[in-house]
Every structure is written in structure tokens, then in C-alpha cells.
Amino acid sequence: MKTGNTARHRFLIYFTFFILYFLFAFLSSIAQSKIDSLRKILLAAKEDTNKVIYLNKLSREYQNIGNYDTALYYGNASFEIAQKLNYQKGIADSYNDNGIIHKERGDYPKAIDYFLKALKINKNIGDKKRIATNLGNIGLVYDYQGNYPRALDYFLNALKIDEEIGNKFGISRHTLNIGNVYSAQKDYPKAIDYYLMAIKILEELNHKQGIAIVLGNIGSIYYEQKDFLKALDYYFRALKIDEESEDKTNIETILGNIGSVYYELKDFPEALTYYFRALKIVEELGNKSGIAIWLGNIGRLYVSTEKYADAEKYLLRALAIDTTIGLLLHTENTQENLSNLYEKSDKYADALEHFKKAMVLKDSIFSQENKKQMVRKEMQYEFDKKEAKAKAEAEIKEAKAKAEAKKQQIILWSVVSGLLLVAVFAAFIFRAYRQIKKKNIEIAGQKRVIEEKQKDILASIRYARRIQNAMMPPEKYLDTLFNRLKQ
């Protein structure tokens, strides 16, 4: 940057490198501690599924520190035991891990082969989360190769599955990658939409490393739009988070991107410092695509500073790797830089040859047909998503209707049952009433009989009394007679 702040910027660079040096040492000690712990566990582990899991974990720890040879060794060891045990998940995980290692090394055909093997197993066992992961990884390979319609297809399929199962981390990952595809196609508004969706989910998950990646990608969009101060702001925000992580790849990417901003600002010494720092990390990691990118950027910088011999050396090294691993987008950039180099060094035939090759690649990458395919794929994804939503709503509506019908049926049966009970109870009461009435009638009859008998008895008594009265003299007469006898 050609300003009066050059000294301050250089101080910041050296200070950053100083911090990063100790950070790498600290992170390496943490990673080594995890590795030592896993190796101790493995020494006592039986040859069962747990050992397969621990070997895979150890393989990933070596991936994290860029030791891909050792990572591959433990991945293969895990695969062998998983095969003996016929442990399908373990076999699939080993295939997937090996695919990641070959992807990071830039061996894309092998990477896709391993991912497809993992995908086949996971489809057979019905593990949707792993299926989405495999699809996303295959999409990444096509993305790196510049085959954007195919990359988008895999990312959208992976996103659809993770949305179905509610895997938020997977959703954020695929959303970020879809943003990258649109960014590469220079559809920046759409790219930022997807990046912001990804950040929202990552913040919910408190996934700082993922947030750093998205911040870096937004910085790259501002870089493409020539808003270099905003780009630097996002890059340094991402770098601050990356310094707390264990992933060298993110730090390498951000350092290189900061170098590119300084290149655009014509501060070539600072740009070169950042480029070489990024190149050193990718060489340690064995990341071929990263090596090609930073070799190409260094070559481009040497063209700008008229160091043509150095420029040709770095650009040809980048082109050799680009061609080997099929890095289409970067191959096009490298061809353009070589054309520019040969034009400036008066080698016009070579300049024209490389220019033509660059144009052929550009047409294939940014063709209208590619864009149409991408639009069709996204429209199909949106249609499928809406259709699935409508289907789910219809199913919910149908379930509610069934539940309501069942409820009404229950109410109806309850009413009928209640009425039946009332009818039975009424019949019981009516029967009881009839029985009581019958008994009352019988009692009344009996009472009348008794009363009639009583009447007859009384009549008999009265009749007997009249006869008796007729036969006996009056009481007064008897009293007079009795008195006379006494005299």
C-alpha cells in the first residue's frame, strides 16, 4: 500500500506472524496431546468397532495438522479392521476420510472415487446424515474443478437431506458452499444471501471456525468488487477467529487473500510476504490446489514488478499442478497471467497461444449454458422444497381431519352409549315400577278381601248380638227380679 502508513502495516505483519508462530506452537501441542491420548487408547483397544472409530479419529487429528501420509496410514488401518468386522459405517467413514485427504492433496479423481464408495454404503444402510456429508464433499471437488452446475447439483441434494433431518451444521455447510458457487459465477448478491444464511445458523451453533470462513468469503466478494478496505476488514476479522482455531487451512487462505488485497493496492512487498507465508503453510499441508494458487499469485506479482524470469518460473509450476489436478478456474487465471507475461516480454506468439487457451476455459466455465443449468437446478430444488412443504401441510391437514373425524366418532359413540345406558336404566325403573304397581294391586286386593271378611265378621257379630238380645230379658227386668229374690 503506497501510503504513509507503510511502516505501521509492516509492524502489523511482523506482529501477526509473531502471534501466529506461538499460536501454531500452542495448537500443535493441543493436537499432539489429542494424538497421544488416542494412541494410548488404541494400545489397549480390542479389535472391535471401537477401535475402528478411534483409528478414524486419529486419522482426522493428523489431517488437522496437515500430516496426510500418517492420516492415510491410520485411515487404511481403520478400513482393514472395519472390513474384517463387516462394520459398514466404519468402512464408509474410512472411505470418506480418505476422500478428504486426496481432496486436500488435489488428487480429485481419487477423492471422488472414495466419496462415491462411501455414498454407496451409506445409501445401503440408510444413514441420511452421512449421505448428505458425502454428497457435499463430492460437490466440493466439482467446485474446486470449476464444474459449477454439477457442484451446485450435489450441494442442493445434500442441503435437501440435511433440511429433512434438521442437521443445522450440515445446512450451514451446504449453504456456504452454494454461496461459493454463486460467488465464483460473479453473482454476488445471491452469494451474499447464502453467506448470511450460513452465518445465522453458525452463530446459533456458536461455530466460530465456520463463521470465520464465511467472513473470509464475504471479504472476497468485496475484493472482487474493488472495495479493498472492506475486504481487509472482513479478512482481519476472520483471521482473528482463525487464530483461536486448529485449522491451518483457514489461516493460509486468509493470509493469501490479505496478500491479494495488498497486491491490488500496489503494496507489493507486503503482498509478497503474505503470499509466501500462505505458500509455506500449503506446502506443509501438501495441498496441491493451494500450492498452485499461491504460486500463480506470486508469478502474477513478479509480472507486475517486471521480474519476468521469476514470474515464468512460478507460473509454469502453477500451470503444471493446475493441469494435473484439473483446477479449471485457476488454470484459466494462470493462462491469462502467462499471456500477460509473454506480451510484456515481447513473446507475442506465446502470448496469443496462452490467451486463446484462457478464453476457451473461460467460455466453458462462465458459459450461458452453465448459468442456465444452475438456475434450473436451483429452481428444481425450490420447487421440490415447496412441493415437500405443501405435501407436509396436506398431510398435517389430513391428519387433523382424521383426528377430528375420530373425535366426532368418539362423541357419537359416547352419546349413543349414554342413551343406551339411559334406556336400560329407564327399562329397569319401568320394570321395577310395574312390579311395585303389581304388588300394590295385590296388596290392595288382599286388603279388600280382609276388609270384606272383616265386614262379614262384624255383620255376623251384630246378627248374633241381635239374636242374643231377642232371647234374653232386658237388663232392667233382671235387676228388679233379682231385688225381689233378695227380699
* CA nearest neighbour of 292 among 265, 331, 255, 266: 331
Highest mean pLDDT among 70-74, 393-397, 411-415: 70-74
Question: Residue 449: which pLDDT band, with cuts at 50, 70 and 90?
Answer: low
pLDDT of residue 383: 42
Q: What is the pLDDT of residues 173-184, one digit of tens each?
A: 999 999 999 998
3-class DSSP assignment, residue 312: helix
Residue where the block lists cell 447439483: 153
Confidence class of residue 99 from pLDDT cuts 50, 70 and 90? very high
> DSSP characters for 132-183?
HHHHHHHHHHHHHHT-HHHHHHHHHHHHHHHHHHT-HHHHHHHHHHHHHHHH
Closest Cα to residue 232, out of 241, 224, 240, 223? 223
Stretch 259-267: mean pLDDT = 94
Q: Which residue has the cell 262379614?
A: 456
d(CA 116, CA 95): 9
Mean pLDDT over residues 274-303, rounded?
Answer: 91
Number of other residues whose CB lies within 10 A of the CB of residue 264: 13
- Under the banding of pLDDT at 50, 70 and 90, the label for residue 2 is very low
The least confident of 75-84, 120-129, 132-141, 471-480 is 471-480
What is the per-residue pLDDT for 153? Answer: 93
pLDDT score recorded for residue 156? 94
Grid cell of 383 as nine digits: 420447487
pLDDT confidence band for 89 (50 / 70 / 90): very high
- With cut-offs at 50, 70 and 90, classify the pLDDT of residue 4: very low
Return the pLDDT at 228. Answer: 94
List C-alpha distances in Å: 415 to 251, 403, 427, 428: 73, 18, 18, 20
| CB 216, CB 230: distance < 8 Å | no
Q: Provide the pLDDT for residue 429.
A: 73
DSSP 8-state code for residue 473: P
User: In the predicted model, what is the mean pLDDT of residues 57-86?
Assistant: 88
CA-angle at 285, arms to 284 and 291, nearest 5°: 85
User: 258 near 20, Cβ under 8 Å?
Assistant: no
Assign 18 a pLDDT band (cuts: 50, 70, 90): very low
324 pLDDT more than 80: yes
Q: Tell me how far apart the alpha carbons of residues 445 and 439 are, in angstroms, rounded to a whole number.
A: 10
Whether the pLDDT of residue 257 is over 70: the answer is: yes
The pLDDT of residue 315 is above 80: yes
Measured from the Cβ of residue 146, the count of other Cβ atoms closer than 10 Å reads 21
State residue 456's pLDDT score: 67
Across 274-291, average pLDDT:
90
| First and final C-alpha spacing in the chain | 179
Asked if residue 450 has pLDDT above 90, the reply is no
Q: What is the mean pLDDT of residues 142-155?
A: 90
What CATH number should be reported for the domain whose range is 38-126?
A: 1.25.40.10
377 against 141, higher pLDDT:
141
Q: Is the pLDDT of residue 25 over 50?
A: no
* 133, three cell numbers: 456429508
Name the average pLDDT for the chain.
80
**Which pLDDT score is estimated for 465?**
66
Q: What is the pLDDT of residue 21?
A: 42
Distances (CA, A) of 266 to 3, 142, 344: 10, 33, 18
* Least confident segment among 159-173, 186-200, 239-253, 339-353: 239-253
> Where do the structural domains in the chain lie, given as residue ranges?
38-126, 402-487
* pLDDT single digits (tens) 210-233: 999 999 999 999 999 999 999 999
Residue 368 has pLDDT above 70, yes or no: no
pLDDT band of residue 275 (cuts 50, 70, 90) is very high
**96 pLDDT tier (thresholds 50, 70, 90):** very high
C-alpha to C-alpha distance for 120 and 110, rounded to whole angstroms: 16
Tens digit of each residue's pLDDT (9 = 90 or more) over 26-55 = 444 555 678 888 888 887 788 889 999 989
**Given a cut of 80, is residue 359 above it in pLDDT?**
yes
The tally of CA atoms less than 13 A away on the side-chain side of residue 196 is 7
**Residues 186, 177 contacting (CB under 8 angstroms):** no
Cell numbers for 202: 453458525
Give 198 or 67, the one with higher predicted confidence. 198
Does residue 122 carry a pLDDT above 90? yes
- On the question of pLDDT at 7 being above 50, the answer is no
Quickly tell me which residue has 503506497 as its cell.
2
